[in-house]
A = this chain, B = another copy of it.
Amino acid sequence: MKKRIKTSKPRRAAKGQNRGATTPKPMSKPSKPDTIHHVAIPVPNVAQAVEWYTSRFKCRVEYLDDTWALLAFANTRLALVLPQEHPSHFAVSRPDANKFGDLVAHRDGLNSVYITDDFGNAIEVMEEP
């Protein structure tokens, strides 16, 4: 006679487990997160700011002129902008950026709109290339 093989019982959570510490917050979204395209900070002189940042941090100058610069870091970009042209802000890429407001077209084909959160922070919502 064949020995009956014991099968393992279904695992049941022991009392006291599942304390909720790792349960996702209700507001979390399961889908792929949005990308932060850049962070922008105001500087009075773009060239001086580029020198300041590139001499201290490892980053690549992706664009530079008298009015703004874009420094590429490993995962996102730092924009150095003149305060009279742009507010301090960060930019989120969205395929449905137009739902956030009327997009402004730029020469390279990237469109975006500035919005403000309920707390006074500026956000640029950019159409994904």
User: Which A positions have Cβ atoms within 8 angstroms of B?
Assistant: 1-8, 11, 24-25, 27-29, 31-36, 38-45, 48-68, 70, 72-76, 78-79, 81, 86, 88, 90-92, 94, 100, 106-108, 110, 112, 117-119, 121, 124
Residues of B within 8 A of A57 (CB): 33-34, 92, 94
Task: Tell me if A27 and B61 are in contact (CB < 8 A).
Answer: yes
Most chain B beta-carbon contacts within 10 A, residue among A54, A73, A88:
A73
A47's nearest neighbour on chain B, judged by CB, is B27
Tell me whether chain A's interface is mostly helix, strand or loop, or mixed: loop
For the complex formed, measure the closest distance between the CB of A46 and the CB atoms of chain B, giving whole angstroms.
Answer: 10
For the complex formed, measure the closest distance between the CB of A49 and the CB atoms of chain B, giving whole angstroms.
Answer: 6
